[in-house]
Every structure is written in C-alpha cells, then in structure tokens.
Amino acid sequence: MTGTWPAPHATAPVRGRVTVPGSKSMTNRAILLAALSGGPASVDGAPATRDTMLMVEALRAMRVPIDVDGEHVTVHRHAGLAAGSVDCGLAGTVMRFMPPAAALVEGVVRFDGDERARERPMGPVLDALRSLGAVIVGDSLPFVVVGEGGIDGGTVTIDASESSQFVSGLLLSAARFDKGVTVVHDGKPVPSLPHIDMTVAMLRHAGVVVDDSEPNTWRVEPGQIAPTDWVVEPDLSNASVFLAAAAVTAGSVTVAGWPAESTQPGIGILPVLREFGCTVAAGADGLTVTGPDTLRGVDVDLHDVGELTPTVAAVAALAPTPSRLRGVAHLRGHETDRIAALAAEITAVGGDVDETPDGLEIRPAPLTAPTDRPWRAYADHRMATAGALVGLVVPGVEIDDIGATGKTFPDFPGSWAALVG
C-alpha cells in the first residue's frame, strides 16, 4: 500500500472472530530444515509473507528446488545446497539462519539485505562460525561465506544476549557439521528463549538429537535431518494485537485455531492481558479475550517475549494507570530501535512516556492524533500494528507504512478493518 493509512476507529466494543496466518518463525525454520534434509518435504500453513518468500528465494538461490502453492511449500529431493547470492531483506531468520547452512556448500555465498538490515547485529553468529572452521569475509551485511563443502563444528562460546537467533541459527544446521555443535552462551540472559525452545523441539521432530539439559548450553549430535512434512501453527504474536483490540475497547475477540500448547513466544500475551484486567477463555471455537470496563496498568518483564512489546506498549498508553515494561533492551537491535520508536510515537499522540535502559515507563495522558504527522512504522510490522491498536481508541490516527505488516501478515489491513467494521 502507498500513502498513509487511516487507522479504523472503534465507536463500540470490538467483537468478532479472526483467523491469522501461520507463524513466520515456525515456517522459516521448517523450510530450512526441509532443505537441509535433502527432501522431499513440505510445509503446510506457510504464510505468504515477505519473510517467508525471502527464505524460499534464499534457498532457491542456493539451488534448492522449491515450489510454493498458496500456503503450501514443497521442497523436492536434491543433492545439497550450492553457491549463490542471498537477499536477506529485513528478515532476521534469513540473515542469522542461512550463514551456517552456507558453510556447508562448495563455493562462495554472498549475503546482503535492506539498508536497515546492514545495521542489525551479526557478529556473534559469524564469529562463532569462524571459530568452528568457516571462512567468512565481513562482520555484518554485506558479507561473504566461502564454503569448503563442509565444516568441522565442535564447541563454541557466544554472547547471544542481543538475539536468540544467534543460537537457533547455529543449531538448525548443526547436525550437518562433522562434529555437530555445542553452543555455550556466556553473557547476559538470552532474550526470547521460547524461540530457542521452538528450534530444539523442531529439530527433535526431524530426528535430530539435541541435549539442552544444562542451562545456557545446547548440544546437537551430528547426523541426518529427516525429511518431514510440517504443519504450521497460527502466528500467536500476530494474533496478540487482535486480542488486544478487545482489551482497549472492552470488547471480545476470538482467535481461531489457538493451540492448547505452543513454543511460540506469542502465547505469553495471555498473562499480560490478564494483568491488564482481561478475561481469557479457551473453547471449541478458539481462544477468546474479553476486555475489562477499565484497563489497569501493568509492571511486566517482557524479556522472553520481547516481540510483544509494541502491542503491550500500545495497550499501556491507553490505560488510566501507569505501566512499566522491562527486560527488553535487546529490542534496540530489531527491525528498528523499538524502544526509541515506541517512545517517539506514543509521545507524538500526546502520551507521557520515558525510555529506560531496558524498556519503557508509560503514564496516563489524554491522547490525540497529531495533525502534522502520521504514526511512523519505521518499516517495522509490529510498529505498524501498534499504531493500528492506538487508532482504535484515538480518532484520526494515520499510519505512514501499513504495508510493513506484509512482513508477517499479508492482509493485515483487510483483517483489521473487517474486525473493527
């Protein structure tokens, strides 16, 4: 979409049922594992998002035969990955997951991406690969992996406090390394640990032996990755903003297909919404959140579920009592500096917010849409959806780049408008 997007304004409690696309995080792990298995393998429920297609095109560039038919991805039998050029776009899963796979090829694999992607941290995973025997030129995008047809593997110590993707990226290809991999995290706590749990669970499902019994240590034994037909869960982080619509309008929203159990970090929105005063109920039709007559502020540590911070911050800005969001210093290295971006945009609509070293303090204030500027998305899908959430309550909010939601939700504007309408 081009031009600013007028965020729908709710004149009554939002009530409805929504279906969200599959999890991008699960999808890109599944597609890579399917490719590393040699095929044939499939991924069902893959969302038609930019991040999904960036992973597909990255593997196609490395000579993996892949067909995409709607939400079904088929990886055909092949002899292995080959040299090529990879466009990472702004997808962390591509820029962090593909270099270890590239170390397996014979030849040169070149990596680049969007301008903002060149600013995102890459050092820990590239340095780890070097210590395991890979030849890499560069420390951030653009960089080159000079593959020698395999990699020794072994034990490596890294600081993954900026991104759990550094660990997941190494683990996903580790079974194909000669000695497997033992990854030891040595630093501040790893953010978004549920994402690593997802990686471990998916590796085990594909027959890979993983030992994570020791804190901050993950051991992957060398061996085969079994060709697997994957079924992707709904993206619970994308679903969270729809559930939050019920919270801020005293409405009731049901998300279809919500799993009873999940390794997705998005499941962490439920206890946070309860803190805001919502009620949560699972039923045959899906999971339903009902908003309170009056929101209450929260004091929450979002370290393990940092991707939910924009949604939580938007709800907090609409609450009549103060909130404190903690544990998310690592968000400064995401698609944008999400802490600074949230502070700027909430302030622009009249909010009272301070950045802290690891999060935000948000106090109640009357909010009004500015007349001189739109809500800025910063090319970040979660910033765009946070603006849509604020716009439910604050009339006149416009978002400069709602198209950024295509990263993980192909028709967010249509689904959002349908729910509010």
Residue 307 annotated in ligand binding = yes
Query: How high is the pLDDT of residue 3?
Result: 81
Q: Is 25 among the annotated ligand-binding positions? A: yes
The pLDDT value given to residue 2: 55
Asked whether residue 229 is assigned to any structural domain, the reply reads: no
pTM for this prediction: 0.89
Task: Based on the fold, state whether residues 300 and 323 are members of the same structural domain.
Answer: yes
Assess if residue 214 is contained within a domain: yes
Domain shared by 211 and 331, yes or no: no
> Considering the domain boundaries, does residue 230 fall inside one?
no
In a domain, 242, yes or no: yes
Same structural domain, 250 and 318: yes
Beta-strand pair 84-87/106-112: parallel
Q: Is 176 a known ligand-binding residue?
A: no
Q: Which of 233, 307, 335, 345 is catalytic?
A: 307
12 and 29 assigned to the same domain: no
Give the domain-ending residue among 196, 221, 246: 221
Q: 261 and 139, same structural domain?
A: no
Asked, for residue 301, whether it belongs to a domain, the answer is yes
Q: Are residues 279 and 140 in the same domain?
A: no
164 in a labelled binding site: yes
Residue 244 in domain: yes
Catalytic annotation present for 307: yes
**Together in a domain, 11 and 33:** no
Count up the domains in the chain and report the number.
2
Would you write out the chain's pLDDT as a tens digit for each of its 421 residues? 458 999 999 999 999 999 999 999 999 999 999 999 999 999 999 999 999 999 999 999 999 999 999 999 999 999 999 999 999 999 999 999 999 999 999 999 999 999 989 999 999 999 999 999 999 999 999 999 999 999 999 999 999 998 999 999 999 999 999 999 999 999 889 988 999 999 999 999 999 999 999 999 999 999 999 999 999 999 999 999 999 999 999 999 999 999 999 999 999 999 999 999 999 999 988 999 999 999 999 999 999 999 999 999 999 999 999 999 999 999 998 778 999 999 999 999 999 999 999 999 999 999 999 999 999 999 999 999 999 999 999 999 999 999 999 999 989 999 999 999 8
Same structural domain, 332 and 411: yes
With respect to residue 89, please indicate whether it lies within any of the assigned structural domains.
yes
Claim to verify: residue 202 and residue 348 sit in the same structural domain: no
162 and 280 in a single domain? The answer is no
User: Do the annotations mark residue 140 as ligand-binding?
Assistant: no
Asked if residue 181 and residue 77 are part of one domain, the reply reads: yes
Residue 406 marked ligand-binding? no
User: Any known ligand binding at 261?
Assistant: no
Res 334: pLDDT: 76
pLDDT of residue 336: 85
Domain of 309 in residue numbering reads as 5-21+235-420
281 and 137 assigned to the same domain: no
In this structure, is residue 187 part of a structural domain? yes
3-state secondary structure the chain: CCCCEECCCCCCCCEEEECCCECHHHHHHHHHHHHHHCCCEEEECCCCCHHHHHHHHHHHHCCCCEEEECCEEEECCCCCCCCEEEECCCCHHHHHHHHHHHCCCEEEEEEECCCHHHHCCCHHHHHHHHHCCCEEECCCCCEEEEEECCCCCEEEEECCCCCCHHHHHHHHHHCCCCCCEEEEECCCCCCCHHHHHHHHHHHHHCCCCEECCCCCEEEECCCCCCCCEEECCECHHHHHHHHHHHHHHCCEEEECCCCCCCCCHHHHHHHHHHHCCCEEEEECCEEEEECCCCCCCCEEECHHHHHHHHHHHHHHHCCCCCEEEECCHHHHHCCCCHHHHHHHHHHHCCCEEEEECCEEEEECCCCCCCCCCCECCCCCHHHHHHHHHHHHHCCCCEECCHHHHHHCCCCHHHHHHHHHC
Can you give the CATH number for the domain in which 402 is found? Answer: 3.65.10.10
Q: What pLDDT, on the 0 to 100 scale, is given for residue 70? A: 95
Report yes or no: 110 and 127 within 8 Å, Cβ to Cβ: no
Instruction: Report how far residue 156's alpha carbon sits from residue 245's, in angstroms, rounded to the nearest whole number.
Output: 44
Domain stop point among 221, 248, 267: 221
| pLDDT at residue 230 in the model | 98
Last residue of a domain, one of 221, 247, 264: 221
Residue 97, phi-psi category: left (phi > 0), alpha (psi -120 to 50), beta (remainder) = alpha
